[in-house]
A and B are shown apart, each in its own frame.
Chain A
Amino acid sequence: MKYMLMIYSNPETVQALGEDLDAVMAEVDGLMAELTESGEWLGGEALADPVNAKTVRIRDGVPVVTDGPFVEAKEHLAGYCLLECDSLERALEIAARWPDARFMGVELRPLMNGSADEV
C-alpha cells in the first residue's frame, strides 16, 4: 500500500529547536537513506514556509489570488513523503520515527489507486 506521510509544523516548534535543528536534519537524512535502501521510499519534498503561499479562488469566473495558505491555522504542512509499505503497521512505525512526530505531529494517509476488485 502506498501512503503519504504529511509532516506538520509551526513556527514556534522550529524556533524552539534552535541549534538542535542540525541534529534533527541529520536524523531525517538517516531515515531517508534507510527508506531508500529498503525500497520503501517513493519520493517527497519539503515545502517553503507558508508566508510564501498563495491561495487561488475563482469567483464569478474570475481568479482571485490572495496571500497566505487556504486553511488559516497555527500549524502548517511543512513537507511530505511518499512511501510504499508492506503493511499499515510498518507505515506507522516509520511515521513514529519521523522527528516531527515528537514536536508536533505527522499524519499518515493511504493513497487512492486505480484498481478495483469485483464489486
Chain B
Amino acid sequence: MPAAAAPCPDAGAGARMTVGAGVEDLLRELAPRVIGALVRRYGHFDECEDAVQEALLEAAVQWPAQGVPGSPRGWLITVASRRLTDQWRSDAARRRREETVAARTPQEEFFAPGPEGERPPDQDDTLTLLFLCCHPELSPASQVALTLRAVGGLTTAQIARAFMVPEATMAQRISRAKQRIKASGVGFALPPEPERAGRLRVVLHVLYLIFNEGYTTTSGPDLHRAELTGEAIRLARALRRLLPDDGEVAGLLALMLLTDARRDARTGPDGSLIPLAEQDRGRWDRKAIAEGVALITETLARAPLGPYQVQAAIAAVHDEAARAEDTDWPQILALFELLERISDNPMVTLNRAVALAMVRGPRAGLDLLAALDADDRVASHHRLAAVRGHLLEMAGDADAARDCYTLAARRTTSLPEQRYLMGRAARLAR
C-alpha cells in the first residue's frame, strides 16, 4: 500500500520568495526571453528550461546582495549556458564511464534553431514559448503548469503551492509535459499561419484557467492561489504587447481586469461569499474598471467579435452600475444572447436565464431553465439548482426555492458556495 510521497524541498524557493519585488519582477520578465535565447542557440527546450530555472535561482540569491548586473539578460544567458554545458559534460562523462556508445542525441531531437541573422539578437521569444507550453498535445493542467514555470518564471514549489499538490507531483507533471513536447518533435518556432488562430485560442484558454484558479479562491490558506490572478493579468498584458491587434487577446485582458476589480468586495471579513447584487461597490477597483472599460470599448469598435470580448462587455455593464438596481439588464440580456450564439455552452444559457428574469420576471427565467434539465452537461450541476432556487425565491415560492438551494448545497464541491447556499436555504426556513 501507499507510502506518502516524499517531500522534495526546493532550497531556492525560499530565496525567490524573499528577494525584493523589483528583482523578482525583473527575473520573471526575463525568464521566457532567456529560455528563448538558449533554445535558439542549443535546441533542447527541456534541458534549457531547467538550466534557466537554476540561473534564476542563482540570480535571486546574488543580485539582492551584490547588485543587479549591467546586462541582467546577458548574465542569465551566460549562467544558464554554463549550467547547460556542465550538465552535458557530466552526462557525457557518465556515458563514457558506462561505456555506452557515445551517440549524441540524434539531430531530430534538437529543436531546429532559427536561422541566425534573420532575427534581431534581442528577439522576444515569449510568444513562441507560450505557444509551445500551450501545445495541444498537453492536458490543460500540464499546459497551465508549464506556462507558469517557463513563461511566468515561477518555481515548481510556488506552482505546487498554488495548486495545492505535493511539490514532487508538480515536478513530475512539468517534467512529463516537457518530455511530451520533446517526443512530439515540434520545433521552436511560431505555429504555421493556418494553425495560428486555433493555437492562440488554446493559449488564451490557459491564461483564463490561471486567472480563474486564482480569482475563484476566496480566502484563508489558499492565499497563494490568489497570486495567480495577478500572474494571469501580467501574462495577458505581455501577450497583448506581442499581439496588439488581436481582439480576443484584448478581450481576455479586459475581462480579467473588469472581474478582478471586484475581488475585494466579493468576500466578507469572515470569508463568506457576497453575491454581485449585495457587494459594496465602493470597494471595487475604479482604476482597473476604467482601464478595462476603455480597452473593451476600443476593441469592440474595431476587432471581429469573440467570446472573451462579449464576456468583458457583460462585466463592464455590471461594473458601470453605481448601484445594483442601476444595472442595465436589457443590455446584459442582449449580450448573453449574443454569447450564446457564438459559443455552445449551457452555462451561458444559465446566466441568460438570470438576465431574462431581471428583464421579464422570474417565470420567464424559470421557463428557460426547464430546457436545461434535458442537457446532460448541466442537468445535475449544482449551478442549475442554485439559479433555479434564486429565481423561485424571486417568484415568491419560498418552499421550492429552499429545496433547490439545499440540493445545490449538497451537489457543490466548493466549500464557500456550500456555505452560501446553506445560508440562503436557512433564510427561507419554514
Q: Which residues of A are interface residues toward B (Cβ below 8 A)? A: 1, 25, 28, 32, 36-46, 79, 81, 84, 86, 110-119
Contact = CB atoms under 8 A, between A and B. Distances in A.
Interface string B188-223: 000000000000000000000000010011111110
17 contacts: A32-B2, A38-B172, A39-B141, A39-B169, A39-B170, A42-B169, A44-B4, A45-B2, A45-B3, A46-B1, A110-B413, A112-B415, A114-B222, A114-B414, A115-B217, A116-B414, A116-B416
Nearest to B347: A117
Contacts of B413: 1, 110-113
B1 A37 contact: no
Contact of B213 (A25, A45, A115, A116): A115
A115 B216 contact: yes
Given A44-B4, A116-B420, 8 more contacts: A1-B413, A42-B165, A86-B139, A112-B415, A113-B415, A115-B222, A116-B417, A119-B273
A37 B172 contact: yes
B113 interface: no
Contacts of B168: 36
A114 B141 contact: no
A94 to B, nearest CB: 13
A43 B4 CA distance: 5
B311 to A, nearest CB: 12
Contacts of B139: 86
B238 interface: no
Contacts of B220: 114
Given A42-B165, A42-B169, A44-B2, A114 B415 contact: yes
- Residue in A25, A36, A86, A116 whose Cβ sees the most chain B Cβ within 10 Å: A116
Interface string B139-167: 11110000000000000000000000110
A16 to B, nearest CB: 18
Contacts of A32: 2
B182 interface: no
The 10 closest A-B pairs by CB, nearest first: A46-B1, A39-B173, A44-B2, A115-B216, A116-B416, A39-B172, A114-B222, A116-B417, A110-B413, A116-B414
B262 to A, nearest CB: 9
B1 A45 contact: yes
A17 B216 CA distance: 47
B276 interface: yes
B386 interface: yes
Contacts of B73: none
Contacts of B383: 117
B418 interface: yes
Contacts of A45: 1-4
Nearest to B170: A39
Contacts of B106: none
A116 B273 contact: yes
A46 B217 CA distance: 31
Nearest to A86: B139
B5 interface: yes
A117 B266 CA distance: 11
B218 A42 contact: no
Contacts of B4: 43-45
Contact of B216 (A36, A39, A84, A117): A117
- Residue in B2, B4, B275 whose Cβ sees the most chain A Cβ within 10 Å: B2
A100 to B, nearest CB: 10
Nearest to B145: A39
Contacts of B417: 116-117, 119
Contacts of B1: 25, 28, 44-46, 79
A118 B176 CA distance: 34
A4 to B, nearest CB: 12
Contacts of A118: 275-276
B140 A86 contact: yes
Contact of B414 (A36, A40, A113): A113
Nearest to B218: A116
A3 to B, nearest CB: 10
Contacts of A1: 413
B2 A46 contact: yes
Interface in B261-276: 273, 275-276
Contacts of A28: 1
A43 B166 CA distance: 8
A119 B169 contact: no
A38 B170 CA distance: 10
Given A43-B2, A45-B1, A116 B141 contact: no
A5 to B, nearest CB: 10
Interface in B82-126: none
Given A112-B418, A116-B414, A116-B416, A42 B217 contact: no
